[in-house]
Amino acid sequence: MPCLHRSRSLLVHLVRTLALLPLALAALPGQAGTAIERQAEAAAATAPHMRFQPSGKPVTVHYVHLKDEFQSSPTLQAGLRSLKQGIAICVEGNRRLGRPANPPAALPDQILHRHDFEYAARNRSITYSMSYHVQMADDCSLLERATLTAKLQSSKGKCVIDLDRKTAEGVCDAAGHADAPTRPRPANEASPDAGMTALAADPRFAKQLAVLRQLPGAGSTVNGQRRTIAGVECRMVEGIPGVRGCVSQAGSFVPAIGAGMGMTLYREVAKDVSSAVEAKFDLPLDPAIFTPYLGGGFTITGKGGK
């Protein structure tokens, strides 16, 4: 009987909490964006290469700034609604239980923001990524985090950089992989289909790719569609169902690292989209763009670390 009584009490408490939910939701602030969210977006307004003063012989790169379009994402819209409802339930529940309740003064416009700044030379690339994400704490307040990271990669390996914590791990040499050899490309790799063709020719992957290509919507190209994004023409490709992109081969070279078939101007993963807001090809930049970890104060670990 005591167990039954406790179960009934919990049920009554839940029903009362849900009944008060509309009033609690009405008391929450509207979506106006939080201070940390606005700061993160403001930080992403300036591309990383704009922060470097010329100090050496320029290196020619292709540059693309991809920005999220998550406000139109059904999944992330549902996540924002869930956050708002969760805060309302948390406030009412904590107050009834005598626990601290500190609801936020403002709600974020989005629960996730993402900016990627990719710089690709012939033999190496580095991508700077800014992200913002949020969740609810036990006291109903927001746990917000904005991060700035970078990843340098080439045939020599990878260097993973945390620009907030000032750490770099992996192959993080003083030259930023400037001496990385460029692997020769097959003659047929000029088209976006070539990467999939090369994989299909490899007996280790042929069976898996054959299965993928039988799935609905599979195929390397999407109706041969071409689009213009950020003033640059690109070709839609779809390597596996649900993952699509628009790739450009503009400029005087096709980078050997990264997408492997050009610069990505559009990315769609399970209907979550990022599109280029800026794209420049054959752009001369200071080589320091590839070595942010040499700016002082960084802890460098791993192969190539100093």
Q: At what angle do helices 74-97 and 2-19 cross, to 10 degrees?
A: 120
Decide if 100 is inside a domain: yes
Decide if 179 is inside a domain: yes
Decide if 10 is inside a domain: yes
Decide if 172 is inside a domain: yes
Decide if 115 is inside a domain: yes
Average the pLDDT over each of 6-15, 149-158, 169-178 and give the range with the smallest value. 6-15
Note the pLDDT tens digit of each residue in 80-117.
999 999 999 999 999 999 999 999 999 999 999 999 99
Q: Is 69 buried (19+), middle (13-18) or exposed (0-12) by CB count in 10 A?
A: middle
pTM exceeds 0.85 for this model: no
Decide if 306 is inside a domain: no
In angstroms, the CA 93 to CA 139 distance is 10
Q: For the chain, how many structural domains are there in total?
A: 1
Q: Note down the domain range covering 103.
A: 2-301
Q: Is 60 buried (19+), middle (13-18) or exposed (0-12) by CB count in 10 A?
A: middle
